[in-house]
C-alpha cells in the first residue's frame, strides 16, 4: 500500500523521514545530498530538502506557506539520495493537498 501524507494548502509544509534499508534499519546519509519534488501532470513543486541527522539517516522536506497555494489534489512524490554520481530514489508516495479551512491571517 502506498503511503499518503495529508498537507493543507497555504500552510507551511514539513515532512520528516528516515532512509532505511530492506530490513527497516536506518541508512547513513553522510555525504549525501537530498532532493524531492511533488508532481501532478505538468505541475512540479520542488521541496527544500535537508539532511537533519546523517548518521541516523534522517531528513526533512519543507515548503514555506508562501509557496503552497497550489491546486487541491493528490501529488506523487519521492526523495532522491545523491552521493557523488550515484542517485537512489525512495519509494513513490502520495501527498494529498487539502483545503485549509481556517485562515486567521
* pLDDT single digits (tens) 54-97: 999 999 999 999 999 999 999 999 999 999 999 999 999 999 99
Cell numbers at 81, concatenated? 539520495
Residue 61 CA to chain centroid, in angstroms?
5
Instruction: Provide the residue ranges of all domains of the chain, joining segments of one domain with +.
Output: 4-98
Q: CA triplet 46, 74, 61: central angle to 5 degrees?
A: 35
The class (CATH top level) of 4-98 is mainly beta
What is the value of pTM for the model shown?
0.90
d(CA 81, CA 89): 6
Beta strands in 19-73 (DSSP E): 33-40, 43-53, 58-63
pLDDT of 1 > 80? The answer is no
Average pLDDT, rounded, for the chain: 95
Return the pLDDT at 105: 63
Amino acid at each position: 500500500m502506498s503511503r499518503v501524507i495529508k498537507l493543507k494548502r497555504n500552510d507551511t509544509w514539513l515532512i520528516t523521514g528516515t532512509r532505511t534499508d530492506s530490513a527497516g534499519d536506518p541508512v547513513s546519509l553522510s555525504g549525501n545530498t537530498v532532493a524531492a519534488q511533488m508532481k501532478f501532470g505538468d505541475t512540479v513543486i520542488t521541496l527544500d530538502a535537508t539532511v537533519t541527522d546523517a548518521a541516523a539517516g534522517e531528513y526533512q522536506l519543507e515548503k514555506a506557506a508562501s509557496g503552497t497555494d497550489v491546486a487541491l489534489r493528490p501529488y506523487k512524490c519521492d526523495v532522491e539520495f545523491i552521493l557523488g554520481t550515484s542517485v537512489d530514489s525512495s519509494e513513490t508516495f502520495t501527498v494529498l493537498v487539502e483545503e485549509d479551512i481556517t485562515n486567521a491571517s
